[in-house]
Structure 1
Amino acid sequence: MNTSIVIADDHPLMLRGLTDFLTSKGFNIVGSATDGNSAYNLIVKLKPQIAILDIRMPHKTGLEIAEACKKNDLPTKIILITFDKEEEVFDQAKAFNVYGYILKEFAIEEIETCIESVVNGVPYFSEEIASYLEASDEENKPDELNLLTKSELKIVKLISENKTSQDVADELSISVRTVDKHRSNIVSKLGLDNKPTSLSIWASLNKRHL
């Protein structure tokens, strides 16, 4: 394997452990760093295929490095290793085109599979984080959604994507009058007021559950 990799972690044992493990597996570790600025400079200079980054590092976090790489169109694919299970952090990672997201407690077990997946252009996220987020999403799912029919759910999903009534009508091959009737029923079931923007705001806030 000639995959070029930069590794950055401010914990020396984690950094050494990953470096030794991946070297033993034939990966080409071209640089390592213990802080975010050094890691980003290595990425800019060496342009490795992959950068494996701790999320929380001094001077620049893994997320900030990922954001900078995206902004500057750097070709390096980012894999983050972290203890964080917060949905907000995960969403930020996806927004910055992070290709891999691994929980630290499973890093050695999953990193090789993750790298192979990422090299082939397929994002890889720890099953544990996916399961955690699914469970969290299910717990926070609004009960009101259970009141809606399948047709109404389709309409709410389209509204969450900022579609107008005409857009919804065109996509579902129904009339605008039918869409408006559905909207009225949905507003009633959800207990919203009759302001034109109320349903759009509600749909946007609950988009991930649709």
Structure 2
Amino acid sequence: MNTSIVIADDHPLMLRGLTDFLTSKGFNIVGSAQDGNTAYNLIVKLKPEIAILDIRMPHKTGLEIAEACKKNNLPTKIILITFDKEEELYDKAKDFNVYGYILKEFAVEEIEICINHAINNERYFSKEIASYLNHNSNKKPVNLEQLTKSELKIIKLISENKTSLDIAEELSISVRTVDKHRSNIVCKLGLDNKPTSLSIWASLNKQHL
């Protein structure tokens, strides 16, 4: 396995717990930090395959690190862990192309799954955060029969945390075509236009796709 990982969390017990757990699973923890500046410097210096970051840390947040990595084209794949269930943070995580977004209370259960998704260039977002964000939704159940076969293929891939680029490559179509299908699906399902709405819906209804 030997995947190189940097872990950063300003809570020592969480940092130690994740480090010990992942080490026991055969992952290579090449560095750890308790603040954002140190974490970012480690990422720049060591270029680990994956960085697991607390969203809220002193000096630089996990989101700020993710933004900096995207801006500077750093190869490290970012996984964020947090107690926060704010939709704004979730949306920003998507915008910065993070590969994982996990609630801390489920970290031990989901972190290995999330890492394996990232290794395979797939994204993983806690189902619990999707459920929480949609908990008060008043939308009526949707009949999937109104979607075309192509749209059903695409929404199934979206439920697997695939990006538009991933889907385009898998189906041998253009990203523009994928985005057009996504727009049609959003319209047919009666979803709002927030970037994460379709991903959340697909995740919650994955068993029906």
Shorter-chain TM-score tier: 0.5 to 0.7
**Runs (4+) of structure 1 moved beyond 6 Å?**
none
RMSD: 2.2
Q: What is the rounded CA distance, in whole Å, between the counterparts of 2:193 and 2:124 in structure 1?
A: 23
Question: Hey, what does 2:187 align to over in structure 1?
Answer: none
CA displacement 1:132-189 (0-9 Å, x = unmatched): 12224x24x6x9xxxxxx9xxxxxxxxxxxxxxxxxxxx9xxxxxxxxxxxxxxxxxx
Q: Which amino acid aligns with 1:2?
A: N
Kindly report which structure 2 residues correspond to 1:110-121, keeping only aligned pairs within 5 A, or say none: 110-121=110-121
Q: What is the rounded CA distance, in whole Å, between the counterparts of 1:14 and 1:49 in structure 2?
A: 21
Q: What is the rounded CA distance, in whole Å, between the counterparts of 1:76 and 1:134 in structure 2?
A: 30
Question: Hey, what does 1:32 align to over in structure 2?
Answer: 32
Structure 1 residues without counterparts, runs of 5 or longer: 144-149, 151-170, 172-205
TM-score (norm 2): 0.67
Q: What is the rounded CA distance, in whole Å, between the counterparts of 2:117 and 2:193 in structure 1?
A: 28
| Structure with higher helix content | 1
Aligned residue for 2:5, secondary structure, equals strand
Q: Percent identity?
A: 80
Question: Hey, what does 2:79 align to over in structure 1?
Answer: 79
Please say which structure displays the higher CA radius of gyration: 1
TM-score (norm 1): 0.67
Aligned residue for 1:57, secondary structure, equals coil
The answer on 1:132 being equivalent to 2:132 is yes
Aligned residue for 1:135, secondary structure, equals coil
CA displacement 1:65-123 (0-9 Å, x = unmatched): 00000000000000000011111100000001111000000001110111001110110
The answer on 1:18 being equivalent to 2:18 is yes
Q: What is the rounded CA distance, in whole Å, between the counterparts of 2:193 and 2:5 in structure 1?
A: 36
Kindly report which structure 2 residues correspond to 1:179-194, keeping only aligned pairs within 5 A, or say none: none
1:28 positional shift: 0.3
Q: What is the rounded CA distance, in whole Å, between the counterparts of 1:81 and 1:133 in structure 2?
A: 16
The answer on 1:207 being equivalent to 2:193 is yes
1:2 positional shift: 1.1
1:131 positional shift: 1.2
Q: Which amino acid aligns with 1:29?
A: I
Q: What is the rounded CA distance, in whole Å, between the counterparts of 1:101 and 1:8 in structure 2?
A: 14
1:130 positional shift: 1.3
The answer on 1:54 being equivalent to 2:54 is yes
Q: What is the rounded CA distance, in whole Å, between the counterparts of 2:121 and 2:134 in structure 1?
A: 24
Structure 2 residues without counterparts, runs of 5 or longer: 141-145, 147-179, 181-191, 199-209
